[in-house]
Amino acid sequence: MAAGDHTVLQLSTPLTANLSAKVHPLVIFNICDCYVRRPDQAERVIGTLLGSVLPDGTVDIRNSYAVPHTESAEQVALDIEYHHNMLVSHQKVNPKEVIVGWYSTGLGVTGGSALIHDFYSREVPNPVHLTVDTGFRNGEGTIKAYVSVNLALGDRQLAAQFQEIPLDLRMVEAERLGFDILKTTAVDKLPNDLEGMEVTMQRLLALIDDVYKYVDDVVEGRVAADNSIGRFISDTVASLPKLSTSVFDKLVNDSLQDQLLLLYLSSITRTQLGLAEKLNTAAQIL
């Protein structure tokens, strides 16, 4: 596929009103892992996005796999046979996951993106192009989603216009901690469960302080009241169970003891598996 004959326009303002995308954290982690394992001569990684289209039109991106490719200033070549074999393997495990688009690492779109997008347009109508900044410039991972619209004059195609669409990346606290570590270029060690819980509690306390400050500012008249925020705070407070301090402490301690027990059992299991593997190896040698 030659890249020299294609012009690419990238618009950062979302123009597609009824189309949005939602990406699961597993997809981002998988893309970063593929980028780390890429061949030495490869500057970026390209792959297929799997998922489904929700009834409201949102593209739900739940899985992905990398596709080998070669790329130069003049052309882009994808391993189409590998792509199809991987798709068949994935659909044997989860037949509900279909192709919804493709991804590439780096910032924004390039000249070769139009050619790759044209290939995926033959695989699925209106595919989503996801870009992931695996370099985490300035400590932030820029993740954007685009759709392509062909600009033509009569029968002649002038350019491929990539329009950014709203992208929703939601994470639970454990996934958020992993993503924050991933954005750090170097860490001394991964946090254990207790350290992760400490970071979570500190963040929770900071959010509670922000809520307190907002409520005080509204009461004192320093900030205009927002009914939607007030209802959200009211619903949040109403959802909290009414527990005494002693009962709450008991629930936390019981949960912590259960987690420590699971860690102990998993450690014993790993030890037994390691011992069995060594005994098996010794028996084969003898």
Domain that holds residue 272: 242-285
Please tell me the pTM assigned to this model. 0.59
Contact residues for 38 (Cβ-Cβ < 8 A; gap 6+): 44, 45, 66
Kindly state whether residue 259 falls inside one of the protein's structural domains: yes
- Positive or negative, the CA dihedral 223, 203, 29, 98 is negative
Do residue 154 and residue 258 come from a single domain? no
Do residue 273 and residue 227 come from a single domain? no
Alpha helices in 21-110 (DSSP H): 25-36, 80-93
Kindly state whether residue 162 falls inside one of the protein's structural domains: yes
Do residue 97 and residue 211 come from a single domain? no
Mapped onto helix, strand or coil, the DSSP state of residue 117 is: helix
286 residues of the chain, pLDDT tens digit each: 544 455 454 444 444 556 888 898 888 888 888 888 888 777 888 999 999 988 888 899 999 999 988 877 667 788 889 999 999 998 888 888 899 999 998 877 777 788 888 888 888 888 999 988 887 766 666 888 888 877 666 666 666 678 888 888 877 777 777 777 666 655 556 667 777 778 888 888 998 899 999 999 999 988 888 888 889 888 888 887 788 888 888 888 888 888 888 888 988 998 998 888 888 887 777 6
Interatomic CA distance for residues 69 and 121, integer angstroms: 18
Q: Are 173 and 20 in contact (CB under 8 A)?
A: no
Residue 194's closest CA among 271, 263, 249, 250? 263
Residue 273's identity, in one-letter code, is L
Q: Per the structure, how many domains does the chain have? A: 3
Q: Give the tokens for residue 176.
A: 């958020």
Do residue 126 and residue 247 come from a single domain? no
Kindly state whether residue 90 falls inside one of the protein's structural domains: yes
Q: Give the tokens for residue 202.
A: 């500190």
Do residue 227 and residue 104 come from a single domain? no
Kindly state whether residue 189 falls inside one of the protein's structural domains: no
Radius of gyration for the alpha carbons in the chain, expressed in angstroms and rounded:
25
E strand or H helix that includes residue 63: strand 59-66
Do residue 164 and residue 53 come from a single domain? yes
Mapped onto helix, strand or coil, the DSSP state of residue 140 is: coil
Mapped onto helix, strand or coil, the DSSP state of residue 14 is: coil
